[in-house]
Chain A
Amino acid sequence: MARWADRVYALIVACYPRKFRKEYAAAMKLLFHDMLDDPRTPKRRAWIAVLNDVANLLGGLRFGALLGALFGALIDLTWYVGRTDIVPLDLSVGLVLISALFVAAGFVGARRSGTLAGGIWVGLVAGVVSGVTVPGDDLMFHNFPFYDPMSFVFTMAISAAVVMLFVILGASLPGFSRYRHRVGRSFGAFAGAWRENLD
């Protein structure tokens, strides 16, 4: 039976990019096990080394946050352009553009980190930064688009949920190539059965 320390370490290993994990997860877990089993090394030293690894992982998160902030700023800019009519932009075109930017944030984050979580993190930061548009609308155009606090909370919650769906879609795209053949085969089989039924 695995020790609790091995289980905790397995959770930390799960945070590494998928490609790296596939290659080195087993070796990393064995190495951590060796560190704990070595009577010459105090156990706390093994944990300090692991904490150092986690700090390095968080360094990657910081870059993801910067990337997310950049996408958020682009979304803010799209909103500002739409609201001020600098470029005559139809509301539906603006919404499509903003949705595409959220998909792109998820996609870029997932591609860079190699994980779905990395894409969601970038999209989440983009969502928070783009939330500036709500007080911005009030400050710049004197239009607080909510009747009461409850409508504000509900609208923001629904917007966040919709936006995160776009982000998850974008973050899933890099992994799609792995399932492309399987999806293609399923679609082919479905189309074949459909045609047979028509005949």
Chain B
Amino acid sequence: MSRERQFTKPGTPLTAPVFYILLSLSIRVRHGYDILKHVEESSEGRIRLGPGTLYTALKRLLDAGLIAELEPDPEEDPRRRSYRLTARGRAELSGELKRMEQAIVLAGARRIRARS
């Protein structure tokens, strides 16, 4: 499956970095480094993005209309770019969370538990 099709085909699971990026932007508007730190913290250090990977993912999300870029703050460094989640992005995130919930219910029904 091409990367472009990931967001246009309903029901397709999101990749882990994309999921955590959308999750971090669902809380509030963030700039690149803020997103990076939040992704690392919320994934408990399992996902550590580099600048290239982060901005490649942000570009794809922008192109797909899941996030939007805010006008630069005149008091901030002009190189610092901030992003927010769009309604489409929120719907995509909700869909992913629903898929996860269904997976947990299914695993519970089959008595499969996560190892602690």
Contact = CB atoms under 8 A, between A and B. Distances in A.
Interface of A: 12-13, 16, 20, 23-24, 26-32, 34-35, 38, 45, 48-54, 56-57
B12 interface: no
A53 B51 contact: yes
Contacts of A12: 52
Contacts of B33: 30-31, 34-35, 38
Given A26-B79, A35-B33, A53 B59 contact: no
A33 to B, nearest CB: 9
29 contacts: A13-B52, A16-B52, A20-B59, A26-B79, A27-B79, A28-B51, A28-B52, A30-B32, A30-B33, A30-B77, A30-B79, A31-B36, A32-B51, A34-B32, A35-B33, A35-B51, A38-B33, A45-B48, A48-B48, A49-B48, A49-B49, A49-B50, A49-B51, A50-B51, A50-B52, A52-B48, A52-B50, A53-B53, A56-B56
By Cβ-Cβ distance, the 10 closest A-B pairs, closest first, are A53-B52, A49-B50, A53-B50, A28-B51, A34-B33, A26-B79, A31-B51, A24-B55, A30-B79, A31-B32
Interface residues of A, dominant DSSP: helix
Given A30-B77, A31-B36, A35-B36, A23 B59 contact: yes
A64 to B, nearest CB: 17
B50 A50 contact: yes
B81 A27 contact: yes
Contacts of B52: 12-13, 16, 28, 50, 53-54, 56-57
Contact of A28 (B37, B48, B55, B77): B55
Interface string B62-92: 0000000000000001011100000000000
Contact of B53 (A20, A23, A38, A52): A52
Interface residues of B, number: 18
Interface string B22-59: 00000000001100110000000000111111111001
A20 B50 contact: no
Interface of B: 32-33, 36-37, 48-56, 59, 77, 79-81
A39 to B, nearest CB: 13
B55 A27 contact: yes
Contacts of B53: 49, 52-53, 56
Contacts of A57: 52
A45 B47 CA distance: 12
Nearest to B45: A45
B38 to A, nearest CB: 13
Contacts of A45: 48
